[in-house]
Structure 1
Amino acid sequence: ANVNDAPTVTGAIAAQTATEGVAFAFTVPAGFFTDVDAGDSLTYTATLTSAGLLPAWLSFDPTTQTLSGTPGDGDGGTLAIRITATDGALASVSADFQLVVNNVNTPPFLVTPIADQSIQEDSAFSFSIPPTSFGDSDVGDRLTYSVTQESGAPLPSWLGFEPTTRTLSGTPTNAEVGSLTLIVTATDSATQAISDTVVLTVTNVNDAPTLVSPIADQTPTIDTPFTLTLPPTTFNDIDGGDSLSYSVSRSDGGTLPSWLNFDSASLTLSGTPTSNDIGTVSIQIIATDLAGTSSSDSFDVTIAPIVNTPPIVANALPDQSATEGTPFSFAIAPTSFTDPDVGDRLTYTARQANGNALPNWLIFNPITVSFEGTPLRGDVASLTIEVTATDTGFNQVNDQFDLVVAGFNARPVVIPSRSSIAYASTIGSVAIDPALTLADSDSTTFSAATVTIVGFVSGQDTLTFVSSPGSPITGAFAADTGILSLTGVARSRLTKPPCAPSPIKH
Structure 2
Amino acid sequence: MSTVTFGTPQTNPFGLADVGLVSSPTFADLDDDGDLDLFVGNYDGKIIYFKNNGTASSPAFGTPQTNPFGLAGVGLVSTPTFADLDSDGDLDLFVGNRDGKIIYFKNKGTASSPAFGTPQTNPFGLADVGLVSTPTFADLDRDGDLDLFVGNYDGKIIYFKNNGTASSPAFGTPQTNPFGLADVGSVSSPTLADLDRDGDLDLFVGNYDGKIIYFKNKSPMDLSDSSISENSDEGAVVGTFSITDPNNGDTFTYQLVAGAGDTDNAAFTIDGDQLLFNSSPDFETKSSYSIRVKSTSAAGLSYSENFTINVKDVNEDPTDINLSNNSIDENVAANTVVGTFSTTDPDTGDSFTYQLVAGTGDTDNAAFTIDGDQLLFNSSPDFETQSSYSILVQTTDAEGESYSKNLTININDVNEDPTDINLSNNSINENVAANTVVGTFSTIDLDTGDNTFTYQLVAGTGDTDNAAFTIDGDQLLFNSSPDFETQSSYSILVQTTDAGGLSYSEIFTININNLNLNDPTDLDLSNNSINENVAANTVVGTFSTTDPNNGDTFTYQLVAGAGDTDNAAFTIDGDQLLFNSSPDFETKSSYSIRVQTTDAGGLSYSENLTINVVDVNEDPTDINLSNNSTENVSYRNVLLAMNGRST
Instruction: Say whether the fold is shared (TM-score over 0.5).
Output: no
The structure having more radius of gyration, on CA atoms, is: 1
What TM-score comes out, normalization by structure 2 length?
A: 0.33
Higher relative contact order (CA 8 A, sep 6+): 1
What TM-score comes out, normalization by structure 1 length?
A: 0.40
